[in-house]
Amino acid sequence: MNTVVLPFDDAAIARAAELVRAGQPVAVPTETVYGLAADATNPQAVAAIYAAKGRPSFNPLIVHVSDLDLARTLADFPAPALRLAEAIWPGPLTIVAPLMPKSPIASLATAGLSTVAIRVPAHPAMQALLRAAGLPLAAPSANASGTISPTRAEHVLKSLGGRIPLVIDGGRTMVGLESTIVAIDDAGLRLLRPGQLSAEDLAALARVPFIASDSNRIEAPGQLASHYAPALPLRLSADSARDDEWLIGFGAIAGDRTLSDSGDLVEAAANLFDALHEADASGRSAIAVAAVPDNGLGVAINDRLRRAAAPR
Ligand code: TXA
Ligand code: MG
């Protein structure tokens, strides 16, 4: 793929919006770092982000929206979260909140979680793209997995050149560090990822206590689950269903529901979390999954399936 670099202007935004609406990821500056943005409501577009980054695992992504009103249609913000959003957005702050019922956000963007990380970015290029595309955009940093976050268009090109269609060049990003991520309700504010804004200052703005979290206890009850896994036991590399299993198929193995009957890994990634949720709710006593090849997006799919199959 030929990667085009366009300076930030109306024509570049119009082209980027066209690509995003067609399900492609594009690199665009935000005030923190360059993001690799794709339609958060289109599961195949979200899968394309992972394919371009070559990430070996699926993590929930940050969903970017143009304004708080739009954010409130996607997530259910408790009152202190709204106070904070009103004080800081647009800006380098991400808030994790429960997804609205029937939210259009693709399950791959939240990695199957019932919460979503949302932010309203301040950079004029990302703002213009959000408004031109008229969509929420999932956007991790625009760099290949395992490399440092890009603060200039040249960094993006060096890392993802040939793998994405477009980079919008808006010069150097101001903050240079990913957004501060918080989870917040009446009980207090928890810091999930440090950034430029300090958690103590944010808690004061939201008028709630700052809950310092001890990193050893992140997975303890009451803490935010950072990974979705099905409740039922899961068996890997199944050729057919045994006993009372719900079979998730791939390729020639049809199953009760397939990840991709044509063996397409982008389609399989796009379907993964919906298929796991459906299997979990099937009323059967266990889940089996057909083998998925361990290349390209299959690496991230298998990482998630192995974790789901591990004894808990
Ligand atoms: O500055 C930024 O935030 C950049 C620019 C491009 O906007 N974006 C960025 O996105 O860093 P991303 O998708 O790489 O951030 C993912 C982080 C991970 O640490 C992930 O665990 C956390 O957000 N996260 C996302 N959804 C979450 C959720 N529902 N619960 C807890 N953490 C979540
Ligand atoms: Mg990153």
| Whole-structure pTM value | 0.93
Q: Is the CB of 149 under 6 A from ligand 1?
A: no
pLDDT of residue 219: 40
What pLDDT, on the 0 to 100 scale, is given for residue 222? 44
Report the pLDDT value the prediction gives residue 193, as an integer from 0 to 100.
92
Counting as low any pLDDT under 50, the low residues of the chain are 216-223
C-beta 46 within 6 A of ligand 1: no
DSSP letters along the chain, please? -PPEEEESSHHHHHHHHHHHHTT--EEEE-SSSEEEEEETT-HHHHHHHHHHHT-SS----EEE-SSHHHHHHHB---HHHHHHHHHH-SSSEEEEEEBPTT--S-TTTTTT-SEEEEE----HHHHHHHHHHTS-EE--BSS-TTSPPPSSHHHHHHHHTTTSSEEEE--S-SS-SPPEEEEEETTEEEEEE--SS-HHHHHHHHTS-B----GGGTTSTTSPP-S---SS-EESS-SS--TTEEEEEETTEEESEES-TT--HHHHHHHHHHHHHHHHTSS-SEEEE----SSTHHHHHHHHHHHHHS--
Indicate which ligand has the atom closest to the C-alpha of 59: 1
pLDDT for res 218: 43
Protein residue with its CA nearest to atom 31 in ligand 1: 226
For ligand 1, the distance from its centroid to the CA atom of residue 19, given in whole angstroms, is: 23
Whole-number pLDDT of residue 228: 85
User: Is the separation of the CB atoms in 28 and 4 below 8 Å?
Assistant: no
pLDDT one-digit tens code per residue, 181-238: 999 998 999 999 999 999 999 999 999 999 987 654 444 334 456 678 899 999 999 9
Task: Please work out whether the CB of residue 191 comes within 6 Å of at least one atom of ligand 1.
Answer: no
CA of 9 to the centre of ligand 1 (A): 27
Q: Is the CB of 180 within 6 Å of ligand 1?
A: no
**32: Cβ below 6 Å to ligand 1?**
yes
pLDDT of amino acid 250:
98
CA contacts within 13 A on the Cβ side of 161: 7
